[in-house]
Amino acid sequence: MDRDYLMKLHIYIFRHGETTFNRSKRFTGRVNSRLTDKGIEQVDLVAEKLKEKRFQIAFKTSLSRSSDSLGRILKYHPECKRVIVDDRMIERSYGDLERKYHKTVIEKYGKRQFDIWHRSYDVPPPGGESIEMVERRVLSFVKDLITLMKKDKVNSVISAHNNSMRPFRRSPGASSGRTKKGHSVTWARAGSAKRRSPLPFTVS
């Protein structure tokens, strides 16, 4: 690993582990849902991957699955003295759909409407948020995060949610690989086998 890369600041972001609502295919959104045994195993796997990394500041949301997942990561990191709650990266609100089973929504409204509410970029579910709305608040968080990291020269770790992770890839200057200028963003997503190994990104 070259010296230039080692001198960069790093963000380690991961998704919380599987919850009881994830397992039973229910819309979770802003509802608290505890980690399953599988979810705990997923987070512990990420904790092992991040064991040798160093970060001085941590971020979580006010939802228990974010907090509980971060706690399992931080037990290996006494160097991390600051934990900040920032709900700009909280999970997408599914409004009136929260707590409902996916199959119940499909049976009542049809698969096409379910897909629109579940995956559309700019159409929110009733009383909830679209992905576009989530993106706006998350990008505001990313901007402030990078400013803070540059000012204090610290690495950070973020316990995020599925929908709040996506805008990180769309943040200005984010790209895969390494560059001679910028800051490395490393992804380590619990809950997805493809994301269990950290992946490097850069933010200029």
- Chain segment 134-148, per-residue pLDDT in tens: 999 999 999 999 999
pLDDT of residue 8: 81
Grade residue 171 by pLDDT with cuts at 50, 70 and 90.
low
91 catalytic, yes or no?
yes
From the candidates 10, 16, 161, 183, give the one annotated as an active-site residue: 16
41 catalytic, yes or no?
no
Q: Where are the beta strands (DSSP E) in the chain?
A: 10-15, 57-60, 82-85, 156-160, 175-176, 183-187, 199-203
Residue 96 pLDDT greater than 50, yes or no: yes
124 vs 175, which has greater pLDDT? 124
Enumerate the domain spans of the chain: 3-92+137-203
What number of helices (H) and strands (E) belong to the chain?
8, 7
The residues with which 10 forms a beta bridge, in sequence order, are 184
pLDDT of residue 176: 43
Decide if 35 contacts 182 (C-beta within 8 A): no
pTM for the full model? 0.86
State which fold the 3-92+137-203 domain adopts: Rossmann fold (3.40.50)
From the candidates 48, 77, 79, 91, give the one annotated as an active-site residue: 91
pLDDT of residue 22: 96
